[in-house]
Amino acid sequence: MYREVRPIDPPSPIKHARRTTVYGATPQADASAHAPDPSSSVSDAPDERYEMFYGTGDYDIPRPSRPDAPRPTKAIFSDQTLYNWKQSSRDRYVREFMRLDGCGDANQMLCLGCSDPDKRPGYRCRECKGGLLFCKECCVQRHLENPLHRIEAWDGSRFLKTCLKALGLRVQFGHPPGEYCANPEQGRKGFVVLHDNAIHQVAVDFLWPRL
């Protein structure tokens, strides 16, 4: 059997450098001297494994540096109208929102419904316009036909959520708003109405006897 060793340059520079280091010469120089003996077994062959390291060693391939992109020194607004509003009117709008979170222009000393000096106004409706403050009795009277409005109570520093049921409003079935049956039958305590603005607990009365 005729055998001939032909050296082949490895495509990888790392393999090429390792091969030069192991044999002490270039692969083309005396490659036949390092050819494996045909009579030797596979177990006697030297271990030709190699390890590749990234970021360390003498065989790192330099990477071209990329120039940093210039950062904009000033923000560019696509909507000039919104930018003008921000510069001239933003703070004024924020102050108005904060004022409306409180009592606003409402009179905290006199109820606008009954003008009774003994009844301090402390209730407002989120659905009705104006944001005016009324006493408990006037607030209930104004919502006989709107029992599903959202009510807030002023505690001296902020508004808290409440409901017309807590203020004493009862809805009488079978009678016009404001009229009550002489012998009503109270509905269940957990009567709940699902509305598009909230979930309301409503105190209801039925006719007696029922038809």
Q: What is the pLDDT of residues 15-60, one digit of tens each?
A: 777 776 655 555 454 444 445 555 544 445 455 555 555 555 555 5
Q: Is the peptide bond before 11 cis (omega within 30 degrees of 0)?
A: no
In-domain check, residue 137: yes
Domain boundary among 12, 35, 62: 62
In-domain check, residue 161: yes
In-domain check, residue 143: yes
Contact 113, 134 (CB under 8 A): yes
CA–CA distance, 129 with 126 (Å, rounded to integer): 8
| Report for 2-6, 22-26, 43-47, 200-204: range of highest mean pLDDT | 200-204
| Tens-digit pLDDT profile for residues 127-180 | 988 778 899 999 999 999 999 999 999 888 888 999 999 999 999 888 888 787
What pLDDT sits at residue 157? 82
CA–CA distance, 148 with 198 (Å, rounded to integer): 8
pLDDT at 199 over 50: yes
Query: What's the total number of domains in the chain?
Result: 2
Residue span of the structural domain in which 24 resides: 1-62
Domain boundary among 62, 89, 115: 62
In-domain check, residue 27: yes
Domain boundary among 62, 86, 111: 62
Do residue 58 and residue 128 come from a single domain? no
In-domain check, residue 76: no
In-domain check, residue 49: yes
